[in-house]
Structure 1
Amino acid sequence: WRKEILEERDFQGLMILLQNLPTMHWGNEEVSVLLAEAYRLKFAFADAPNHYKR
């Protein structure tokens, strides 16, 4: 669904798409990859609190 996100021109349409991602048919493999990437990013930025500042 990367293509759909990049092609969306309307902010409201983009928000609706992001809130209803087509993940109904995901299995353990896809969820495991997503969780592993989230875990990696959490620790990659754990010691970099300045990225929160504006």
Structure 2
Amino acid sequence: MRELPFPLLVRLWDTCLAEVDGFSVFLVYVCAALLVRFRGELLSRDFQGMVMFLQALPTGGWDGGDLDLLLGQAYMWHTIFGASPGRSHRT
């Protein structure tokens, strides 16, 4: 919750609530998209530096377009990999 400005956080929660498996599955893809977004910064650091970076992501200046890109990536991966044979299906 602390990683995004409040209006974007509300939009993220709304998106997760709209998805059938929003908080149990879709949010994992959002987190993966976030890690890929900051891949370069993470790879350039040692472990402690990565942890410190992840605890204070530079997302304070993000706007709706940044979140749109992140959610779009997550949705694409969820669509492609969500029905993969290795995924356990919960009801």
* TM-score by shorter chain over 0.5: yes
Identity, in percent, stands at: 35
Matching residue of 1:50: 86
Q: Greater CA radius of gyration, 1 or 2?
A: 1
For 1:22 and 1:34, the matched residues in 2 are separated by 14
TM-superposed deviation, 1:50 = 1.8
Matching residue of 1:40: 76
Give the count of matched residue pairs: 51
Matching residue of 1:13: 49
Query: Is 1:29–2:65 an aligned residue pair?
Result: yes
TM-superposed deviation, 1:27 = 0.5
Cα RMSD after superposing both structures? 2.1
Displaced runs of 4 or more, over 2 A: 1-4
Which structure 2 residue ranges, 5 or more long, are not aligned?
1-37
Matching residue of 2:41: 4
